[in-house]
Amino acid sequence: MWSTLMQRFRRFPFFSLDRHQWMKQILSQEIEKGRSVVMFYVDIVKLTELENRYGVTVAKRVLHAFERILPAVTRQVFDLRGKSLAIQKLWGDDYAIYVSFGGSLNEEDCRLLSIHIQEQAERQLNQQVSFVNREELSVRIGYVRLPGRDLGKEMYTSVKRAIHMAKYGLTSDAYTNMTQFQKLLAEENVSMNFMPIVHLPDGQTLGWEALARGPKTSPFASPAALFHYAEETNTVLQLEHLCRKRAIEQLRYIKPQHKLFINLDPRAMDDPLLLRGEYSPCLNNTACIRIMSCWKLRSGTQSRIMPYFAKSSRNTGKKAT
């Protein structure tokens, strides 16, 4: 009984951006225990507009009221299913709530929890700031699961992804598309088609161009839709990485004298994984092949073709160079 009361009234840890390493350690410990960690992003809609209309003092009172109610709302919504870890103040009226859950937690669970905390936060906020009686304030929310493979990077990118989700709204078609796209990346559900590249004088096949396709029954079946949504969600490099991986997995089916052409966004040339030679192990014991990287500048300038991987040997024990 006493421990339950202490847990209920414990001081909720708020932390700022400069406590990043401390929070990273907390999250790492939860993931090592086999728990799922989810970051929920919340902010007040149009706080800047409210400040312009009613003044800085009123806006500060609204913000302080929001900071007072957020810990209680967080415990009320999340602690029945999981464990609230901390709230990070990002900037202005933007906050990240880190929660860990034991057992299974699917996308629908996260969505319902998000809607619940959104409703509770809006209700309590409007009760606290009745002095702004012209209109009710609303709260936006988004969420992202943290796999834990690279927590430092995930803590940064998760905020950007959650902001996109919050902007679209949890009940919109755009939200549905976003969750489907995140599932596509998580499950690596991208397939490759291969178009022959021929020598015009004699019609001989020189190589094959790898073309990415999303699931046929999804909004991302066409490459245009697939990469457009990656641009919208700032996941171009992640999608590029997946497409390269899928293309190189098919090397075993390509004749040794043929070349493989892979399309790259120019920004992918700065991808740390690409620069570290992430695909060298995939090239061992495959057909003797020369892989080329073909990319087009989005400004419409002339295409360029440049070497990507040099060569790998079949059954020679040699490493790819």
Query: Per-residue pLDDT tens for 214-240?
Result: 998 888 888 888 988 888 777 888 888
Cβ contact 186:106 at 8 Å: no
Assigned token pair, 144: 């992202």
Least confident range from 9-13, 104-108, 151-155, 296-300: namely 296-300
Least confident range from 39-53, 77-91, 307-321: namely 307-321
pLDDT of amino acid 273: 62
Question: Nearest Cα to 191, choosing from 227, 243, 241, 239?
Answer: 243
Question: Nearest Cα to 101, choosing from 89, 85, 112?
Answer: 85
pLDDT band for position 272 (cuts 50, 70, 90): low
Residue 39 dihedral angles phi and psi, to the nearest 5°: -105, 125
Cβ contact 158:172 at 8 Å: no
Numbers of helices and strands, H then E, in the chain: 11, 10
pLDDT of amino acid 217: 85
Q: pTM higher than 0.95 for the full model? A: no
Using alpha carbons only, what angle is made at residue 99 by residues 98 and 103, rounded to the nearest 5 degrees?
150
- Percent of the chain whose pLDDT exceeds 90: 21
Burial classification of residue 93, based on how many CB atoms lie within 10 Å of its CB (0-12 exposed, 13-18 middle, 19 or more buried): buried
Mean residue pLDDT across the chain: 77
250 Cβ neighbours under 8 A, 6+ residues apart? 192, 194, 210
User: Which segment, 11-25, 144-158, 301-315, is predicted with the most confidence on average?
Assistant: 144-158
Please tell me whether residue 111 adopts helix, strand or coil conformation. helix
Least confident range from 10-19, 229-238, 240-249: namely 10-19
CA distance 99 to 31: 11
Q: In what order do the strands lie in the sheet with 204-213?
A: 191-199, 204-213, 259-263, 289-295, 304-312
Least confident range from 93-97, 99-103, 222-226, 282-286: namely 282-286
CA distance 118 to 112: 10
Residue type at position 167: K
